[in-house]
Structure 1
């Protein structure tokens, strides 16, 4: 059986094979040429020295390819072609090594680029989260049960106080609501139907006087709830973008954006002095409406507190006619009764 060796430099069958101490097999003439170029350095292990004395000759049973007999005038040409062929093989070996090195550098560069993109994305997310937290910072609020007389008040701000888990409402709060109910009942009984009160046929002919779109963000469009602020031209719209937008019908502009919820706003209610928003995140947030002076038509909204309904999303919010209480209903059947104390240096309430 014939034994043939393949040169590690050229990849061709060796005619005069030799082995290096590192275990590589070479064609003798090619490795000697390479050692001359590399100053006796192992081609595959540059940190090792390789000399001609260290090469071990191997016996090959493969029959060498003997070129046919040529005329003496052609022998010199064959020698030149052989040398050119050897030089081409060595150059090809160097090109393969350069290609491998280029591939390693390219892989490292791509890895570093991917890592940089990931770091930048994480930093952008952390920045956005920090901005959101800064926007949600509000004055210190205290949540205490409504029946208890002790309350923690903040100067020129308001506190939202959560009822304990009980079915009873304090006597003081009940008396206030009953007194308001009696006053409203007397007014309703004396109220007569206006002569120009529209009939059903007239209402069916009504057409929209104005339409406003794109109040909420376009990536999460849609309005989920709507309410009007009494005795004003303000309309509050809750949306899937986690924001309640206050729109002024008189100036045809958005005058406020009430943010802070982590999920869609599902319900809103408003009075002249208070706006309450409920969200699918299980919380209700209260905002005080600050009307400007008579010579200024501006309006602002101050966050005054929030209340959470444990165990579900906020299904609805309602402000009592007294303007001092808020009822929050959850999707799991829980109802939270809160007292809202609004104090303002401008009106002394």
Structure 2
């Protein structure tokens, strides 16, 4: 017989009435005193449940008196008993821990599989939704195409867009440059006249109204900067990463990475739209200053009426959208895609008119005031491509400008100066209509993520990713 605890022949063997296991009496009594149950089970065990086993034993001679050896042996025996009990408890705890760890790993693996399955189903649903077409009105009843909320503008805005297009198209023909507009010599002489370190961290967008600039950042802040005074006048806490900014009259409009478009009027929030199921990647203002457009990673673009502060239409496309711009006449709307295309839509109906291909995800997009050119830059490219709306295919790419990385583009009102900003610096490209040629009157190394022309195009305002705003203008005498 061997002790179930120590694995040795017991000197005073006892057996459990419940399981029949054999133990050394002193060991099992200590175990019961500490744990109150039988080793290896969860059953309670009492000393009365132990049955002594009668065995023939060799009687030990009595140890000599007045010696330390018995006490030493007793100490060794007590230490051995404690070690045996501790070893047993450790093995028991190790077995229990292994069981708990196995259960936790199983649950974690199951959770990961469920998340992966749900993510796949979500992506498949989004892809299927992006490929759905609008069922034609009055068409064949057997057409199974699902109708989604692609819709055109309300009648009042249709009339507004049509009337404005007629006015702007007529007014553009042979339109002279405004009096006091910047000259090529003044552009060539641009230099840094002011630099200010803002509190906006990771700046992402910029727009100008008069002598003030609004700068948004991915830290959720928006600051209003007085260009002439060179200081920040006020700051707004948006609470969400700002991805795009538009300023018109007293309204500052911001788009966020969480899918919202928020309108602030005179510093107070006037409206908030949650129209996108992902990040809003761009904003554009119609030349009539009444219609606002937003594009998003959810493959849709949305139009808003800034007079009524309501969403008026939405159109889905087949790719995530990254940038947008209105034609200077307002009758066309361009949206750049993650797939590297620029899609041109009719503003009134939302129908796609044509597509131009750049070849890499669109970073920036802007129309020229001449009415038939637009410029686009792609992620990872070192050029800006000029497209002609009147042409198709490869012939539509009329010029490639070697500008370096271009994260932001800005064409001046006369259509002769195209400013670019990126990690490699700021450039100004000039188109000479008389000789039908391009030149580069200005280039410097001021990095920027956004830029805009100031009053009479005599200054350029840029902001870099670190939130440092720079003003480029003529040197004061």
- TM-score after normalising by structure 2: 0.39
Larger radius of gyration: 1
Which one has a larger percent helix, Structure 1 or Structure 2? 1
- Which one has a larger percent strand, Structure 1 or Structure 2? 2
